[in-house]
Amino acid sequence: MKQQDQVITDRYALYNGDCVAGMQALPAECVDLSIYSPPFAGLYQYSSDERDMSNCISRNEFFNHYEFAVKEVHRLTKPGRMTAVHCMDIPTGNSGNDGLIDFPGEIIRLHEKNGWQFTHRYFIWKEPLTVRNRTMMKSLAHRQCCEDSTRCSMANADQLLIFRRSGTNAVPVEHPTGLDRYAGEEEMPAELLHLKNMEGDQKKNRYSHWIWRRYADAFWDDIRIDNVLPYRCATEADDEKHCHPLQLDVIERACVLWSNPHEVVLTPFLGVGSEAYGAILNGRKAIGFELKSAYFAQAVKNCDNAAKGHVSIETPLFSHIDSM
């Protein structure tokens, strides 16, 4: 499948085109980690392109199409390595209190069907008033609680689902001096700062242990919700009024926990490039696919900004996927 455009450097390879066709052109077992947000099964429509998975007439049709992507990500992933899928429960109506669809559960079952082992589920906390002000949902207003709290809703947490491909991981993801940087809102206690990058017995490395306790918690209530890439300049007049880039704290944690420096991180739904940007910023190489040209153009700018100031990686990425 030919791509509409592509930009390839020693740090990233970005393709403007259909992700399934693009992934089919890549060699098997070439990816160390993938992280992405799939289209939310009918909640938002990003374009009228027939190849756009958000442009489906039903949830069943979406999952029929999405399964092709899940299979390709599995084929590209090295044995024993991970994929991280960002998602949330989906409201059935516009009011916010009509009910919820267990979208994460459907994603889990689809991955298990296609050879993935479900290993982790993280919940990313959202502040209710902030969500209310952004969405203007009546069901999240304090007034609704006063009038009839049976019609109230909640600020749904984002979820990050982690899956492992079967097989033995040939290259461990190591941290010989522990975790050396914290991606989150809390401040590191001053008395631990001198232990950063401590060598020797890591049981005594309380700096790294402080970070690990927060990363190993199933409830990530310390993510900086507004720590995202700018995206408004990527939207077009006929866009669905939605663009919700994944927080950079979440991306950094995934890269650090499940990949080594210089390894390859894939995102099949690139958007404005948040996952690729985060991978590059953390010393990884990025591969991404994006169907929408405006988002792709913004992603290229963001990844270029991330790559500036970093030492080039000698091992090249894939030379090309056929372009127009």
Separation of alpha carbons 303 and 322, rounded Å: 21
pLDDT in tens, 166-200: 999 999 999 999 999 999 999 999 999 999 999 99
Instruction: Report whether pLDDT(2) > 90.
Output: no
pTM, two decimal places? 0.88
pLDDT in tens, 218-239: 999 999 988 888 755 444 554 4
Instruction: Report whether pLDDT(241) > 60.
Output: no
- DSSP letter, residue 250: H
Q: State mean pLDDT over 263-271.
A: 96
Q: State mean pLDDT over 316-320.
A: 61
pLDDT in tens, 110-167: 999 999 999 999 999 988 888 888 778 888 888 888 999 988 888 889 999 999 999 9
pLDDT band, very low/low/confident/very high, at 277 (cuts 50, 70, 90): very high
**What are the residue ranges of helices labelled H in 180-284?**
206-215, 248-258, 274-281
Separation of alpha carbons 289 and 321, rounded Å: 11
Report pLDDT for 323. Answer: 46
| Terminal-residue alpha carbon distance, the chain | 10
pLDDT in tens, 37-64: 998 644 454 545 556 555 556 778 888 8
Q: State mean pLDDT over 268-291.
A: 95
Q: Where does 37-190 show beta strands of DSSP type E?
A: 77-87, 90-91, 100-101, 116-124, 158-165
Q: State mean pLDDT over 310-320.
A: 56
Q: Is 136 left (phi over 0), alpha (psi -120 to 50) or beta?
A: left
- DSSP letter, residue 190: G
Report pLDDT for 236. Answer: 52
pLDDT in tens, 60-86: 888 888 999 999 999 999 999 999 999
CA angle, residues 177, 118, 269, in degrees to nearest 5: 85
Question: Domains in the chain, start-ordered, CATH in brackets?
Answer: 5-307 (3.40.50.150)
